Amino acid sequence: MNETQKTQPRGWLSARGMLPALANACIKLAPQHMLRNPVMGVVWLGTVLTAVATLAGQSPSGFGWTVTGILLATVLFGNFAEAVAESRGRGQAASLRRARQGLSARRLDAADDARTVPAAELRPGDRVVVEAGEMIPADGEVIEGLASVNEAAVTGESAPVLREAGTDRSGVIGGTTVLSDRIVVQVTAEPGHSFLDRMIALVEGASRQKTPNEIALGILLAVMTATFLIVVATLPFIGRSVGVEINLVLLIALLVCLIPTTIGGLLPAIGIAGMNRALQANVLASSGKAVEVAGDVDVLLLDKTGTITHGDRQATAFHAAPGGSLERLRQAAVLASLADPTPEGKSIVALARQQGLEMEAPAGAGFIGFSAQLRMSGVDLPDGKIIRKGALDAVAGHVRQTGGTVPPGLDDMVATVARKGATPLVVSESGQVLGVIELADIVKHGIKERFARMRAMGIRTVMITGDNRLTAASIAAEAGVDDYIAEARPEDKLARIRAEQEAGHLVAMVGDGTNDAPALAQADVGLAMNAGTQAAKEAGNMVDLDNDPAKLLSVVEIGKQQLITRGALTTFSLANDVSKYFAILPALFSAAIPQMAVLNIMQLSSPASAVLSALIFNALIIPALIPLALRGVRFRPASAIRLLRGNMLLYGVGGVILPFIAIKAIDAVLAIFFQF
């Protein structure tokens, strides 16, 4: 999606897209398409039968052709709803196709010599070199170098992003542009199965699979349609027993009014619109099922860093151990951080410089990078000094292994820092604990309110962090999460997800690294970051193009909105049928059975007018509800019982009352202009 498309008004259909949608609605009249939808398939067959019956003289031509025209309009309106939903993704699909057209690649051979080949010839495992100003020819992983990449062709965001080999932000997408430096990319996708190919298929609806709820509702509508078909088929026999002859056109009109045509016509559009809403939020879902499952999630697992907090922890203070030297602590912390590429390491050096300490790493120093298993980092100096900084238990264990002792007041010092919501990093030098570095991490603005919304929907939030328990508890309390996992390792995420699922919960989580892949695959909804590794993106069933871990909260709301929209419109459609029953049946039988006149509460002018009025309303209500189907019912956080009660009141009672008013109004207009 480009910038122009992203800022366009999100109306339900632009004037420019009207004609293509109408043309597509006519194309969908083909039998092979119509018979996929049992409800609209019956209306389509009814249209054909009324035309044949009118030609055969079984009904007055004026009335017969009018009914045929209204039934055809009903079918077209149902097709139009689906066509409109599909059309909303075609502009984005065209933009994505342009992003991959004419791509070539400089493929490296075994001797690292580059040869230009068409991008379509690339296969998984091939290595390509991309420099500033060139487009990345295929999906892959950066295996050498780092570069600034413009992903506006995919995400619509003009701000460049950094992609670097050996990090959790090494994944690149074919069709995006390198702005600076040089990278070597290892291809991971087969031709025709790239990220852009998947996205194009999804935005056009070509790969949309029906969700379990949609399939269940489709079966219910098919059963209801079959039931009403049997009921209507028996009416001629019942009518003859009381001296009433009902022709075929009237029977078909009655059937169409009784079956749930409104939801039958809108159901495909609702499913496609759910995918579109996810795409508008810059989330690429593997299928509509993934979006809908998000609406049923009741447990959210979220990383603390970058999701709940801003993630850019900054050193704010040095605290020397009891009896220790603040200057020695400061020097050791700087030496352990000079080669540390993380924001925390850089902030430690910056804080020391603000306090007047300038140092350079001595030649021959060996930097020890942070790992999830060791949970500490540091440096081995040429003079034999071993400096480490990290979590309390990790550094304390290291000190004891080297024959040192942990000062008795260290636990209290760490607890004091942690109670403030900061992260304490313990520093040691050659078996002696020197003190604590205080790292402050800020909870994102508004995150507590968002968790409150989740809680109102019956969703439990669980924060995952590698911090110690005191820090985790402080951040959890400030952010308003329901539970937390402290000092977490990658396998702890997977274990928690499985435990929640065994307890009957649906779990969602977010991740971006290769070590997150097992948990993303295990979760019912796995949201991977677009900047993350290919393993993470393949393991999850959703990809966030904006790389915003907090997007998971929005995904849940999108899923719930889709479920609520389908339920509300189904309720409205079924309630409509009650009113149409009172409009048509009394008009058909009251002449022969005077006792049925008591049911003719609408007092419609004639049986023919009653049938036509009900059919016209039945046809017009579908296009009238297209904007609601595409936009979705407004979602408010509430319990399932409260939402059900609200929908029954608004769409159930409203669905009964509206047809009475509308059909009576249509009948009054018909009585003025026509004589039946």
Q: What is the CATH number of the domain that holds 538?
A: 3.40.50.1000
Helix (H) or strand (E) holding 128: strand 127-131
Mean pLDDT, the chain, whole residue set: 81
Quick one: pLDDT at residue 193? 75
Q: Does position 367 have pLDDT exceeding 80, yes or no?
A: yes
Quick one: pLDDT at residue 482? 92
- For residue range 140-152, list pLDDT tens digits in order: 889 998 888 887 6
Cα separation, 36 vs 513, in Å, equals: 41
**CA neighbours within 13 Å on the CB side: how many for 348?**
31
CA-based nearest residue to 650, from 586, 557, 590, 564 = 564
HEC secondary structure over 446-496: CHHHHHHHHHHCCCEEEEECCCCHHHHHHHHHHHCCCEEECCCCHHHHHHH
Query: Catalytic site residues?
Result: 303
Indicate the burial class of 639 (C-beta count within 10 angstroms; 0-12, 13-18, 19 or more): exposed
Quick one: pLDDT at residue 328? 92
Q: Report CA 498 to chain centroid distance, whole Å.
A: 22
Cα separation, 342 vs 389, in Å, equals: 13
Quick one: pLDDT at residue 3? 36
Q: Which residues of 622-637 are buried (b: 16+ CB within 10 A; e: fewer)?
A: bbebbebbbebbebeb
Q: Does position 192 have pLDDT exceeding 70, yes or no?
A: yes
DSSP-assigned states of every residue in 365-397: -EEE---TTT-EEEEE-TTS-EEEEE-HHHHHH
75 and 224 both lie in a single domain: yes
595 in a domain, yes or no? yes
**Residue type at position 27:** I
605 and 666 both lie in a single domain: yes
Cα separation, 615 vs 612, in Å, equals: 5
Q: Does position 449 have pLDDT exceeding 70, yes or no?
A: yes
> 520 — phi, psi (to 5°)?
-60, -40
Q: Does position 319 have pLDDT exceeding 50, yes or no?
A: yes
CA-based nearest residue to 28, from 16, 39, 36, 19 = 36
231/94: higher pLDDT: 231
Any known ligand binding at 28?
A: no
How far is the CA of 558 from the CAs of 158, 279, 290, 295, 630, in angstroms? 25, 10, 11, 7, 12
Q: Which 3 state secondary structure label does DSSP give 592?
A: coil
What is the CATH classification number for the domain harbouring 423? 3.40.1110.10
**Residue type at position 10:** R
Contacts 24+ apart (CB under 8 A), 540-545: 540/511, 541/285, 541/286, 541/287, 541/290, 542/278, 542/283, 542/284, 542/285, 542/286, 542/290, 542/294, 543/195, 543/283, 543/284, 544/282, 544/283, 544/510, 545/151, 545/154, 545/155, 545/282, 545/283, 545/284
Q: Are strands 507-511 and 366-368 parallel, antiparallel or unpaired?
A: unpaired
73 and 215 both lie in a single domain: yes
Q: Does position 309 have pLDDT exceeding 90, yes or no?
A: no
- Pair 565, 632: CB distance under 8 Å: yes
84 and 208 both lie in a single domain: yes
* 505 secondary structure, DSSP code: -
- For residue range 649-672, list pLDDT tens digits in order: 888 888 889 988 998 899 888 888
Domain end position, chosen among 492, 523, 545: 545
Q: Does position 4 have pLDDT exceeding 50, yes or no?
A: no
Quick one: pLDDT at residue 51? 93
> Can you list the alpha helix ranges (DSSP code H) found in 489-639?
490-502, 517-522, 534-539, 551-589, 607-631
Q: Report CA 384 to chain centroid distance, whole Å.
A: 53
Q: Does position 244 have pLDDT exceeding 50, yes or no?
A: yes
Quick one: pLDDT at residue 206? 43
What spatial distance separates the first Cα and last Cα of the chain, rounded to whole Å?
A: 54
Residues 6+ apart with CB under 8 A from 534: 139, 140, 141, 171, 188
Any known ligand binding at 204?
A: no
- For residue range 145-182, list pLDDT tens digits in order: 888 888 766 665 556 778 888 776 788 888 788 888 88
135 in a domain, yes or no? no
528 in a domain, yes or no? yes
- Pair 288, 269: CB distance under 8 Å: no
Q: Does position 311 have pLDDT exceeding 70, yes or no?
A: no
Q: Does position 45 have pLDDT exceeding 90, yes or no?
A: yes
Name the pLDDT band for 10 (thresholds 50, 70, 90). Answer: very low
Any known ligand binding at 389?
A: yes
- Return the minimum-mean-pLDDT range out of 77-81, 236-240, 629-633: 236-240
- Pair 442, 308: CB distance under 8 Å: no
- Return the minimum-mean-pLDDT range out of 149-153, 202-206, 333-337, 465-469: 202-206
Q: Does position 6 have pLDDT exceeding 50, yes or no?
A: no
Instruction: Enumerate the β-bridge partners of residue 379.
Output: 367, 387
* Rounded-to-10 torsion of CA 407, 412, 415, 416: -120
Count of structural domains within the chain: 3
428 in a domain, yes or no? yes
Residues 503-530, mean pLDDT to the nearest whole number: 83
Quick one: pLDDT at residue 5? 36
Helix 195-203 and helix 261-280, axial crossing angle in degrees, nearest 10? 150
* 590 secondary structure, DSSP code: T
Name the pLDDT band for 435 (thresholds 50, 70, 90). Answer: very high
319 and 377 both lie in a single domain: yes
DSSP-assigned states of every residue in 256-320: HHHS-HHHHHHHHHHHHHHHHHHHHTTEEESSHHHHHHHHH--EEEEETBTTTB-S--EEEEEEE
Q: Does position 594 have pLDDT exceeding 60, yes or no?
A: yes
410 in a domain, yes or no? no
253 and 334 both lie in a single domain: no
Domain end position, chosen among 545, 573, 596: 545
643 and 561 both lie in a single domain: yes
85 and 210 both lie in a single domain: yes
601 in a domain, yes or no? yes
Name the pLDDT band for 247 (thresholds 50, 70, 90). Answer: confident
501 in a domain, yes or no? yes
453 and 523 both lie in a single domain: yes
Residues 591-620, mean pLDDT to the nearest whole number: 77
- For residue range 348-363, list pLDDT tens digits in order: 999 999 998 888 878 8
- For residue range 380-390, list pLDDT tens digits in order: 998 889 999 98
Indicate the burial class of 493 (C-beta count within 10 angstroms; 0-12, 13-18, 19 or more): buried
Cα separation, 665 vs 655, in Å, equals: 16
386 and 329 both lie in a single domain: yes
CA-based nearest residue to 102, from 151, 153, 174 = 174
Any known ligand binding at 538?
A: no
Dihedral sign for Cα 308, 309, 312, 318, please. negative
Write down the pTM of the prediction. 0.63
Quick one: pLDDT at residue 2? 37
Percent of the chain scored above 70 by pLDDT? 86
Cα separation, 359 vs 356, in Å, equals: 10
Residues 6+ apart with CB under 8 A from 381: 335, 362, 365, 387
Instruction: Enumerate the β-bridge partners of residue 163.
Output: 147
427 and 450 both lie in a single domain: no
Domain range for 479 is: 287-308+444-545
Cα separation, 600 vs 584, in Å, equals: 9
110 in a domain, yes or no? no
- For residue range 606-644, list pLDDT tens digits in order: 777 888 888 999 899 999 998 888 888 877 766 667 777
Residues 573-579, mean pLDDT to the nearest whole number: 85
82 and 207 both lie in a single domain: yes
Quick one: pLDDT at residue 72? 93
How far is the CA of 471 from the CAs of 89, 310, 311, 388, 489, in angstroms? 45, 15, 14, 20, 16
Any known ligand binding at 449?
A: no
**Residue type at position 352:** A
